[in-house]
Amino acid sequence: GAVVSQHPSRVICKSGTSVKIECRSLDFQATTMFWYRQFPKQSLMLMATSNEGSKATYEQGVEKDKFLINHASLTLSTLTVTSAHPEDSSFYICSAREPQGSRTEAFFGQGTRLTVV
Amino acid sequence: AQSVAQPEDQVNVAEGNPLTVKCTYSVSGNPYLFWYVQYPNRGLQFLLKYITGDNLVKGSYGFEAEFNKSQTSFHLKKPSALVSDSALYFCAVRSDTGGFKTIFGAGTRLFVKA
């Protein structure tokens, strides 16, 4: 299947700092990428839909000023957690879908474990 | 609105026995249905999907799932479980009319005992 790479896999940061997470589609172009958040022993919560060249679409209840999403190219979307707090500690996962073709499933990055201390 | 229900938080099965992980869905339009598996501290791996055609879908690692339109279900099955199948399984749905947004169930943890 298509490959989506997420970096870093783990990050620890201090409260008040910002953290950037990258999501790359390695062997296909992704006009749309998705960012999810997963709490321990819970499902994935869709945070936002990232569209190449335009503003991201955020789900209800997600602070757009706190979770900045940039999709500057067809292979890269970034999520920046600004002024991080301990409650932002979570597992963040991105996914991407090929814009055309027969594969309708999304492909996922390996996730980023964010710990804010 | 789209929704997915996985009624079991956990499923326990002995190695070699058949396994079933349940999933029901609600969607406007026709459903695209998916199963993913997640190992600890990892992203999701795609197992199989139903888009159209045969109701019985075969996927990776010997897994299969049966689409039942009248019961709005898409249960995941495997004839003979392996210890290595122990993981967290997610059912997901997307509508053929609702763009690319995919909704996930709460997940079912599968434990396979040797």
For position B29, what pLDDT does the model report?
85
pLDDT digits (tens, 9 = 90+) for A55-98: 899 999 999 999 999 988 889 999 999 999 999 999 999 998 77
Q: What is the CA radius of gyration of chain A?
A: 14
Q: How far, in whole angstroms, is CA B75 from its chain's centroid? A: 6
Give the model's pLDDT for residue B98.
62
Report pLDDT for A41: 73
Inter-chain CB proximity B100 and A93 less than 8 Å = no
Three-state SS at B60:
helix
Q: What is the mean pLDDT of chain A?
A: 89
pLDDT at A106: 80
Residue A44 to residue B32, Cβ atoms within 8 A: no
Contact A54, A32 (CB under 8 A): no
Classify strands A32-38 and A44-51 as parallel, antiparallel or unpaired: antiparallel
- Of all residues in chain A, the one with the smallest CA distance to B109 is A41
* pLDDT by 10s per residue, chain B, length 114: 788 999 999 999 999 999 999 999 998 888 999 999 998 877 889 899 998 889 999 999 999 999 999 999 999 999 999 999 999 999 999 887 766 778 899 999 999 999
pLDDT at A103 over 70: no
Other Cβ atoms within 10 Å of B65 Cβ, number: 27
pLDDT at residue A102, as a whole number: 56
Q: In this predicted model, what pLDDT tens digit does every residue of A107-116 receive, in sequence order?
A: 889 899 999 9
Of A9, A44, A104, the CB nearest to B104: A44
